[in-house]
A and B are shown apart, each in its own frame.
Chain A
């Protein structure tokens, strides 16, 4: 096997020097080298094998020899059973619990009425000001308010929802381990623990109410749907999945909108096209998701049997982290993948994952991002990036711009 020989010949000792800080600041150089030299490799700082190319990510994500597993830091943050890390009957039950509200036809019936007024409200707060920091003032608030209202968390402010996902996010990606597999920064889980305590204090009384008086909110449906009359799902059983929503589903549409805007700002002529023809937004968003995948490296699989992938022998029980953000920069699939290009051939990307654990909210998230950007560009068609301020991306597990300062003439 040529691949085996090549893999065997590669000196991967450089991986010993890779640090979490480096990955969080800019994971691309490390993963570019991984894709070239060892598309499935053990990365010591992560204590795990990592799949970095499109082909291997897809193969592992859809292989019958693997099942889902939550990363150790993710499991420490969410607890069990989180929908992203379980299999078999529990996974089927949790998917069956969340999916009915997320079917495209169902989402179409309410998403515009839910998201558009929220987007308009936030844009009205700054549209006459002539400048805004769009991550904190628009992308994140639109994302969290929409999902918060859908879940039944109208009583929780958008700023509190943003604080929760930020805290859960840093804990979930506190992945660094030492040679014994112990977390190198155990204090890194404190924010997530604080957030969980606050969430339970707010959500427990709501659950108490919804058990007695079901409402048309997502969490109320999760308690009741598919259960025998008079029975509800146990709250401890659904909390980990509530945390999955309060992190990923809250954070990522905001990341996706912001990254798409940064990408479009990098191609002013393409921004102009999208402003002039908002029907291009779904394509612009899809490219934004490929260009800077919000769930960059946050999901994993574990082998259920000894298996050989791209010449690497993995014993049963070997976790593999799927680096979708890297797979979406695979030069074997995309020309000049580091460039945002609205007009690149619209090949499928892996930003929403693959296999039976692919994102359940793909349709909903795409609609939130579309409506959010439609309203922003409708109100401010002369939007420009504030070139006096830099744009910094951050994150290895989850990735997006930390801020996006923009200006326009008023």
Chain B
């Protein structure tokens, strides 16, 4: 069974097992979305006519008043009848990378830091995405989905690179730090999320600051490399914040980037130990110490909610325009419930 849903004059079929967001994205119709688990509210839209089941929409994200006013979360809502929705704000009708289901093959699993692995997944056909987006993995043998940012640039579309931090007892960790082996097949769905580089024609080469906590470095690697290739002279500072030096990874790769691009700087920040060559404390504080004014800069934050919140405050304190602040909160995937 499928029900017709439409937005901005475009009509698509939404099957019984799909959220409206999924149906739109699969048809290549972009709409704002971020967490895909009903907690961030990015995909809130207006039901113009028709009827929806709000599904797992939390009351915190979609209040009773908002429901009464006809708002819905696209990632949770399912149409009960033919339904027309309208996006709020300016985001109408952009096209996007089509959301797809793919089967990938584990090409490599590499220990890169303490409790941290790089996983490379080979695809049979290329996946179109923007640097910074994420994919969902169906953890083999569990039926559970977990979200991982891509460390790739858009050109690296045949082998997906994921950075995975071990969560004790987590279903994905059990597999990736246990039975996972080269040659394993795994179901992947993507691309998802709105944390990504702007299109090249909207990128005017402004200075950028990126702050990643732990494996929050992953999408920043794709974003930084894409942005530097476009504008080799741009000013860019990447802060990688971790607990101890043993948690750092890809420092050689980033040193290479600094050698290639004069305007690029890497700052590693350790919160739990003091080691020569690294800053001590938290990455957002290091940024505040280093940059007197970030007016006109764009900012990119990926990591724990606490790190992202602190980063937003630090950026605003240095007068970065909020519309230029991009954020991706890593809720440890294994700590979130069953998701969608």
A interface residue numbers (CB < 8 A to B): 127, 275-279, 345, 377-382, 408-410
Contact = CB atoms under 8 A, between A and B. Distances in A.
A169 to B, nearest CB: 35
A276 B315 CA distance: 11
Given A276-B312, A381-B316, A410 B321 contact: no
Given A279-B88, A279-B89, A381 B65 contact: no
B316 A275 contact: yes
Contacts of A409: 317-319
Interface in B288-316: 293, 295, 312, 315-316
A410 B294 CA distance: 10
B253 interface: no
Given A278-B323, A378-B321, A410-B293, 17 more contacts: A275-B322, A276-B312, A277-B322, A278-B322, A279-B88, A345-B65, A378-B322, A378-B323, A379-B295, A379-B319, A379-B321, A382-B316, A382-B317, A408-B319, A409-B317, A409-B319, A410-B319
B226 to A, nearest CB: 25
The dominant DSSP class at the A interface is loop
21 contacts: A275-B316, A275-B322, A276-B312, A276-B325, A277-B322, A278-B322, A278-B323, A279-B88, A279-B89, A345-B65, A381-B315, A381-B319, A381-B320, A381-B321, A381-B322, A382-B316, A382-B317, A382-B318, A409-B318, A409-B319, A410-B319
Interface of B: 65, 88-89, 293, 295, 312, 315-323, 325
A382 B295 CA distance: 11
Contacts of A277: 322
Nearest to A377: B322
Contacts of B323: 278, 378
Contacts of A380: 319
B25 to A, nearest CB: 22
A371 B124 CA distance: 49
A279 B316 CA distance: 17
Nearest to B292: A410
B65 A276 contact: no
A345 B64 CA distance: 10
Contacts of A345: 65
Contacts of B293: 410
Contacts of B325: 276
A127 B323 CA distance: 18
Contacts of A408: 319
Nearest to A279: B89
A343 to B, nearest CB: 8
Contacts of B88: 279
A409 B89 CA distance: 31
A408 B315 CA distance: 13
Given A345-B65, A410-B293, A276 B321 contact: no
Candidate in A279, A377, A378 with the most chain B CB atoms within 10 angstroms: A378
A409 B315 CA distance: 12
A408 B312 CA distance: 16
Given A345-B65, A410-B293, A276 B319 contact: no
Contacts of A275: 316, 322
A128 B65 CA distance: 41
Contacts of B65: 345
A378 to B, nearest CB: 5
Q: Which 7 A-B pairs have the closest CB atoms?
A: A381-B316, A378-B321, A382-B316, A276-B322, A382-B317, A279-B89, A381-B322
A163 to B, nearest CB: 32
B241 to A, nearest CB: 21
A127 B293 CA distance: 12
Given A279-B89, A345-B65, A410-B293, A382 B319 contact: yes
B312 to A, nearest CB: 7
A291 B233 CA distance: 49
Nearest to A276: B322
Nearest to B315: A381
B195 to A, nearest CB: 15
Contacts of A127: 319
Contacts of B316: 275, 381-382
Contacts of B295: 379
A410 B312 CA distance: 17
Contacts of A279: 88-89
A90 B324 CA distance: 50
Contacts of B315: 381
A153 B319 CA distance: 34
A97 to B, nearest CB: 33
B105 to A, nearest CB: 41
A293 B323 CA distance: 29
A69 to B, nearest CB: 37
A409 B88 CA distance: 33
A336 to B, nearest CB: 16
B39 to A, nearest CB: 16
Contacts of A377: 322
A157 to B, nearest CB: 29
Nearest to B317: A382
A275 B317 CA distance: 12
B286 to A, nearest CB: 17
Contacts of A379: 295, 319, 321
B290 to A, nearest CB: 15
A303 B325 CA distance: 56
A298 to B, nearest CB: 32
A349 B37 CA distance: 35
